[in-house]
Amino acid sequence: MAVRVQLTSAEVEFDDPGAGTPILLLHGFPGTRYLWSQVAPALVAQGYRAVAPDLVGYGASSAEPGVRVDMASQARWMWQLLDRLEIERPFIVAHDVGSAAAQLMVTGSPERVRGLVILDGVYETHWAMEAIESIRAWNGADAARLFPVLARRLGKSAHLRTMLEAYAGEAGGGRLIRAARDLDPSQTASIRGKLRASQVRSLVLWGRDDRYLDIDAVARPLAELLSAPLEILPGGHFTPSDCPREVSEAICEFLKTAGVRDA
């Protein structure tokens, strides 16, 4: 059952099944928490608590008018959410630009993060902004036309198409245009030193057919920065949707070896 809470200048809707070691699951663009719907049950079955929010301004979560929904703001909101849930030290699993929020959470409060898994994520200013430039430039008056275009471009599976339905219609399209325009790669441009110094145990997972974020240009330097293993999975960019079994198994194995599972 979805839960909705009021935060500073925002409301967040999230799922919170399971118990035990808490895992915060962060989606990217143009996602929603539905991205994790085939992964979270496997984590819960292994005895974990899977907290999966819609980022503010995405899916069913909303921000007050005029409030930016950039990833630095998402990091602050996610800490607020965790504080409301009385979660002291989560494990963070993040996809795409959601990994920017995760990296900012780590650099801001490394002592609060049990461990970090990044899937097809961002590195410094490598955010694949060219892939969403057309959305950033989309005429807001035609927002209702955005979902059919996205569905044709990305909705090759029923799972991804269902996720994208959150952005159907004028209101949904308008939310996504706003979210795209608020993305700011400069927010992770200068955090390399802090991220390396955090020494948070990490894992990097990547789809071998990711056509947005290159393995050699993004995945390998990110893994090196984090001193993390890099595992290549049989999927494209949306690995939690493309290969949920492999993603779930890799996360659970990492949790086991990292020693973060509750006894």
Burial of 139 (0-12, 13-18, 19+ CB in 10 A): exposed
pLDDT at 152 over 80: yes
Q: What is the DSSP letter of 55?
A: P
What is the pLDDT, as a whole number, of residue 257? 87
Residue 140 maps to a domain: no
Residue type, 196: R
Residue 167 maps to a domain: no
Reference 35, options 169, 158, 119, 159; nearest CA is: 159
Residue 134 maps to a domain: no
Encode pLDDT of 75-132 as tens digits: 999 999 999 999 999 999 999 999 999 999 999 999 999 999 999 999 999 999 999 9
CB neighbour list of residue 232: distance below 8 Å, 6 or more residues apart: 206, 207, 208, 215
* CATH at 25: 3.40.50.1820
Give φ, ψ of 13 to 5 degrees: -105, 135
Residue 180 maps to a domain: no
What is the pLDDT, as a whole number, of residue 155? 75
Residue 223 maps to a domain: yes
**Separation in Å, CA 21 to CA 45, 49, 91:** 12, 6, 8
Residue 53 maps to a domain: yes
pLDDT at 68 over 60: yes
Residue 132 maps to a domain: no
The parent domain of residue 76 ranges over 3-127+185-258
Are the C-beta atoms of 164 and 150 separated by less than 8 Å?
yes
**Separation in Å, CA 121 to CA 63, 108, 181, 186, 190:** 24, 18, 19, 15, 16
**pLDDT grade for 222, boundaries at 50, 70 and 90:** very high
Our count of domains for the chain comes to 1
Residue 22 maps to a domain: yes
Encode pLDDT of 157-193 as tens digits: 999 999 999 999 999 999 999 999 999 999 999 999 9
What is the pLDDT, as a whole number, of residue 263? 39
| pTM of this structure | 0.97
